[in-house]
């Protein structure tokens, strides 16, 4: 019986791609062999990113990158062994603070072909951290999530498979944060942020692949503070996601967080979230 085609997609906040190269990301890529890597906090200019990706995974990658205007900040990318047929970056502003996000290095879309002919749009997103005590910063984060909702719905309406990946800086449920009690009402676990996720999953039908495939268990966490013993005692946050349109979610069969074996072997404060899709 012929093997069904599959696609392994990994998403990771690299915490600076140049630093990740120095600290060992290439070893993870060599071992894992993903077909697509979505990256956040790339923090490198456009002209350097293709060469950095080649250092990470060798030759033959197709790269879409959105650089932030603010030097050394943010930046998102999609690197794919499968040809990228089109890409676009940025989000239109939405809501009371209708700010444009086309120069913030927080949203990049890449289109690739799929065996069923529908095509797949992969998004790499880096959502603002926010601050519950700063009304303007929190409003900016919520407006970005609202703009993301509108854009995701527009992509899905074309009939394409649609996948939002990235560091979304929100723990949706109590299972997603080890110290959820101490973070109630704070940015990252604020009711207004979590309500956006409720709408995605409960009203609009988007699927949280990690939660669907791992079940009702704590985590698995994807971010740990560099400080103290957070990593060693697994006191983390699940804030890195694969959120898929329903038809794509039905094709997902494996979800793994590639947590480093030890603190010393970490090349980012985030771990890659890897999902395998089979057509």
Q: What is the pLDDT of residues 209-219, one digit of tens each?
A: 999 999 999 99
> What mean pLDDT comes out for the span 90-105?
66
Give the per-residue pLDDT at 70: 83
Give the per-residue pLDDT at 4: 73
Give the per-residue pLDDT at 176: 98
Task: Say whether pLDDT at 95 is over 80.
Answer: no
DSSP 3-state of 51: helix
Give the per-residue pLDDT at 71: 82
Alpha-carbon distance of 71 to 49, in angstroms, equals 14
> What mean pLDDT comes out for the span 240-245?
98
Nearest alpha carbon to residue 13 among 263, 276, 257, 194:
257
Give the per-residue pLDDT at 3: 64
Domains of the chain by residue range: 6-278
Per DSSP, which regions of the chain are E strands? 6-13, 36-40, 62-66, 76-80, 86-89, 107-112, 120-126, 161-167, 207-208, 240-244, 252-257, 273-278
Give the per-residue pLDDT at 101: 67
Give the per-residue pLDDT at 104: 86
Nearest alpha carbon to residue 66 among 123, 120, 149, 20:
123
13 falls in which pLDDT band (50, 70, 90)?
very high
> What mean pLDDT comes out for the span 21-40?
98
Give the per-residue pLDDT at 98: 46
> What mean pLDDT comes out for the span 230-252?
98
Is-contact 233 219, C-beta < 8 A?
Answer: no
The whole-model pTM stands at 0.95
Average pLDDT, the chain: 94
pLDDT per position as a tens digit, 102-154: 678 999 999 999 999 999 999 999 999 998 889 999 999 999 999 999 999 99
Nearest alpha carbon to residue 119 among 170, 158, 80:
158
Q: Which of 24-28, 110-114, 140-144, 162-166 has the lowest mean pLDDT?
A: 140-144
Cβ neighbours for 237, distance < 8 A, ≥ 6 positions apart? 171, 176, 177, 178, 188, 221, 222, 223, 224
HSE at residue 181, side-chain half, CA atoms within 13 A, is 0
Assigned token pair, 254: 């494996």
Give the per-residue pLDDT at 62: 98
Give the per-residue pLDDT at 7: 97
> What mean pLDDT comes out for the span 213-238?
97
Assigned token pair, 107: 């949203």
Task: Say whether pLDDT at 1 is over 50.
Answer: no
CATH code for the structural domain at 6-278 = 3.60.10.10
What is the percentage of the chain residues whose pLDDT exceeds 90?
Answer: 90
Is-contact 28 65, C-beta < 8 A?
Answer: no
């Amino acid at each position: 019986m012929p093997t069904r085609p599959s696609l392994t997609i990994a998403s990771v906040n690299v915490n600076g791609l140049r630093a990740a190269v120095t600290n060992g990301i290439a070893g993870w890529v060599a071992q894992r062999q993903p077909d697509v890597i979505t990256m956040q906090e790339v923090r490198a200019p456009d002209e350097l990113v293709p060469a950095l990706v080649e250092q990470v995974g060798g030759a033959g990658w197709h790269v879409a990158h959105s650089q932030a205007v603010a030097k050394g900040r943010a930046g998102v990318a999609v690197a794919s062994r499968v040809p990228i047929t089109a890409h676009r970056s940025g989000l239109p502003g939405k809501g009371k603070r209708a700010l444009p996000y086309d120069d913030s290095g927080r949203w990049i879309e890449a289109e690739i072909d799929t065996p069923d002919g529908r095509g797949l749009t992969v998004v790499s997103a880096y959502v603002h951290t926010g601050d519950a005590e700063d009304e303007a910063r929190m409003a900016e984060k919520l407006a970005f999530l609202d703009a993301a909702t509108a854009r995701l719905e527009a992509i899905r309406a074309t009939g394409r498979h649609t996948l939002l990946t990235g560091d979304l800086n929100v723990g949706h449920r109590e299972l997603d944060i080890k110290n959820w009690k101490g973070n109630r009402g704070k940015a990252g676990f604020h009711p207004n942020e979590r309500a956006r996720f409720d709408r995605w999953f409960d009203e609009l039908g988007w699927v949280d692949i990690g939660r669907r495939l791992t079940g009702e268990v704590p985590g698995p966490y994807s971010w740990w503070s560099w400080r103290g013993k957070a990593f060693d005692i697994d006191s983390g946050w699940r804030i890195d996601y694969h959120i898929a349109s329903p038809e794509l979610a039905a094709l997902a069969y494996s979800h793994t967080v590639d947590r480093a074996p030890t603190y010393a072997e970490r090349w980012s404060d985030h771990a890659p979230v890897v999902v395998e899709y089979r057509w």
